[in-house]
A = this chain, B = another copy of it.
Amino acid sequence: MMSNQNKIPQATAKRLPLYYRFLNNLHIKGKSRVSSKELSEAMKVDSATIRRDFSYFGALGKKGYGYNVEYLLGFFRKTLDQDENTPVALIGVGNLGTAFLNYNFTKNNNTKIEVAFDADKRKVGKSIGDIEVHHIEDMEQNLGDISVAILTVPVSEAQNITDRLIKAGVTGILNFTPARITVPESVRVHHIDLAVELQSLVYFMKHYPLENEE
């Protein structure tokens, strides 16, 4: 079962949480049946890609019928380990960090920020979105066994904090700073570079003109 899991293409794996959320929404709306075509229109992913993605996990649907929403949802809940909660730490309670604390990824989601750190004493001791802000100096004492961190500190602090996080046992970092941080092979980093995203959107608009109106 586990060796099978490793065979799933990364591109597929990245879409799984999206599938899960849409199925959950369909389930909440009371829909019991759905086709790859419907999913395709809702999620803007080609229907063949959806069928292909699902097929890596076996035959989850029925020919001529489609997919049973509840069954599929249950399958993905297990696959995405939605039953165990994953605690997350947030470092840097500034503009972005505060936004994340207030939002806290609560809906359809097993991830939750459980602790936050900042270097600014005016922020320490406060609670934002029910999460207490600790001083960064006490990070190691307050991390517990959390292995996932969201990094929203100034770029100049990014590598230094990263090193400390890794020493403290963190193995996954969602990095919002523009720094391309250096980590050992055993640590996974996903970069979300908002300035790059905006610039690249503008570049595509200018250089890859799209068809006009359907």
Q: Please indicate the chain B residues that have their CB under 8 angstroms from the CB of A17 in the complex.
A: 195-196, 199-200, 203
The answer to the question of A81 belonging to the interface, with a C-beta cut-off of 8 Å to chain B, is yes
Chain A: residues with CB nearer than 8 A to chain B?
Answer: 2-3, 5-6, 8, 10, 13-14, 16-18, 20-21, 42-44, 80-81, 86, 88, 95-96, 98-100, 102-103, 105, 107-111, 147-148, 150, 171-172, 174, 178, 180, 182-214
A169 vs B185: C-alpha distance when bound (angstroms): 46
A208 with B43, Cβ < 8 A, contacts A213-B184, A214-B185 known: no
Interface of A: prevailing SS: mixed
Q: Please indicate the chain B residues that have their CB under 8 angstroms from the CB of A187 in the complex.
A: 210, 212
Q: Are B198 and A105 in contact (CB under 8 A)?
A: yes
Shortest CB distance A128–B (Å):
10
Q: Are A188 and B174 in contact (CB under 8 A)?
A: no
- Between A and B, 29 residue pairs with Cβ closer than 8 Å are A2-B206, A3-B207, A3-B208, A3-B209, A5-B207, A13-B203, A17-B195, A17-B200, A17-B203, A88-B198, A95-B99, A99-B99, A109-B195, A111-B195, A111-B202, A172-B202, A174-B198, A174-B201, A185-B210, A185-B211, A185-B213, A186-B211, A187-B210, A188-B204, A189-B212, A189-B214, A190-B197, A190-B201, A190-B204
